[in-house]
């Protein structure tokens, strides 16, 4: 009984076979079929390698939502060098809520030499080259996101030469925590002092001939400091052509959540437009000489997530490539053989029709000769 049941099961499985086997004696090989098979296998191998490359690659997905966090503080990371002595300049932040954040809350004034060393100039040149490429190729930003924490630091390298020149500039670096509202971070003449109606700077003791707001922005970012991320103003250098000159940067800050396979951080992207002008009250150009960075916080938040192709999708695409190549090459090979057979058959028929058969009376017949049993023998 067991053998009978097993035999019935095997017969049933044979009836369900969707891949019937063809005896080898019925299979005919040809040179054309071997050539097409070689081309098919080569194409499959090439496309499989390309598909595996796509499978290993990742891409960034951008999602947008309303930023509902209004109570937290915004961190501003600053590293700016101004071509004036530290006792002549002051930096602070004043926002729309009339909250004043002075530089004493987190900024350091360091006397330095404004001119860069050869190594530092090379670093600045490379950073400016990257900035120009980022403006042309926006997709490179995804590469920077994926390489965060893996690439080299974007900070200005220390001087490698021991210059005997006395410091003629002031490096203002550190970070400040401000409210998440629009504000104005500025560097101008004199130290900032509180004022009932706002704030003021002690600039009366500084001669106008000492004004020089040529500056270099080595780094400016908002939010968590992430090594490897290049911001729009990093590497910017401006040379003042006049003592009384104003440099303005209008910045729009977008809160950003970054989730990659390497890091997960909350930072901020920003876009910037620049303007500079000479202060000349007689000509109607009013204002205060200095560096002004007016920032505004966007109400939208961007979530950037690094995504990867699932393994099952890779298998499905791979099966589609293999099956599609085999089917397509089989169809093309069959069509090619059909066309070749039609051409050869017409050629053979033409040769038969041109054959002449002599008749007993001396005439000729162009009809094809009949095939008789005697001729078969």
The arithmetic mean of pLDDT across residues 334-362, rounded, is 66
Pairwise CA distance, residues 139 & 43, whole Å: 30
List, in order, residues 6 or more apart from 171 with CB less than 8 Å away: 79, 80, 81, 109, 110, 111, 112
C-alpha separations of 296 from 41, 94, 316 in Å: 59, 12, 47
pLDDT for position 370: 47
In the block, which residue shows the tokens 């530290």?
86
pLDDT for position 356: 52
Query: Given pLDDT bands bounded at 50, 70 and 90, which one contains residue 372?
Result: very low
Identify which of 114-123, 171-180, 255-264 has the greatest average pLDDT: 171-180
pTM (2 decimals)? 0.68
pLDDT for position 295: 93
Comparing 140-154, 220-234, 255-269, 354-368, the range with the smallest average pLDDT is 354-368
The arithmetic mean of pLDDT across residues 108-130, rounded, is 87
CB 84 within 8 A of CB 153: no
DSSP string, 332-376: HHHHHHHHHHHHHHHHHHHHHHT--EE-TTS-EE-SPPP--HHHH
pLDDT in tens, 191-201: 777 666 667 77
Query: Given pLDDT bands bounded at 50, 70 and 90, which one contains residue 77?
Result: very high
The arithmetic mean of pLDDT across residues 59-78, rounded, is 86
Pairwise CA distance, residues 9 & 302, whole Å: 60
């Amino acid at each position: 009984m067991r053998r009978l049941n097993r035999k019935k099961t095997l017969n049933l499985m044979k009836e369900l076979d969707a891949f019937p086997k063809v005896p080898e004696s019925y299979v005919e090989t040809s040179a054309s079929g071997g050539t097409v098979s070689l081309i098919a296998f080569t194409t499959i191998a090439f496309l499989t390698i390309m598909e595996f490359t796509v499978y290993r690659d990742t891409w960034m997905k951008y999602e947008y939502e309303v930023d509902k966090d209004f109570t937290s503080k915004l961190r501003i990371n600053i590293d700016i060098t101004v071509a004036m002595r530290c006792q002549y300049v002051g930096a602070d932040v004043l926002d729309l809520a009339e909250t004043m954040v002075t530089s004493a809350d987190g900024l350091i004034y360091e006397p330095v030499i404004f001119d860069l060393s050869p190594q530092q100039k090379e670093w600045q040149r490379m950073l400016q080259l990257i900035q120009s490429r980022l403006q042309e190729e926006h997709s490179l930003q995804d590469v920077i996101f994926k390489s965060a924490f893996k690439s080299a630091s974007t900070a200005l390298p220390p001087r490698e030469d021991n210059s005997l020149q006395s410091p003629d500039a002031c490096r203002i670096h550190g970070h400040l925590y401000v409210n998440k509202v629009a504000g104005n971070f500025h560097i101008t003449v004199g130290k900032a002092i509180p004022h009932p109606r706002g704030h003021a700077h002690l600039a009366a003791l500084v001669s106008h001939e000492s004004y020089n707001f040529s500056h270099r922005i080595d780094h400016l970012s908002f939010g968590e400091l992430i090594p490897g991320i290049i911001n729009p103003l990093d590497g910017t250098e401006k040379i003042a052509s006049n003592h009384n000159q104003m440099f303005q940067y209008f910045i729009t800050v977008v809160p950003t959540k970054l989730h990659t396979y390497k890091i997960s951080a909350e930072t901020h992207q920003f876009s910037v437009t620049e303007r500079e002008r000479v202060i000349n009250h007689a000509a109607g150009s009013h204002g205060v000489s200095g560096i002004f960075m007016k920032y505004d916080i966007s109400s939208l938040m961007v979530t950037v997530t690094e995504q990867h192709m699932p393994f099952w999708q890779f298998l499905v695409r791979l099966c589609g490539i293999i099956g599609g190549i085999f089917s397509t090459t089989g169809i093309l090979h069959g069509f090619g053989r059909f066309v070749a057979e039609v051409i050869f058959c017409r050629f053979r028929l033409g040769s038969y029709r041109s054959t002449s058969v002599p008749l007993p009376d001396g005439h000729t017949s162009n009809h094809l000769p009949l095939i008789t049993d005697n001729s078969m023998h």
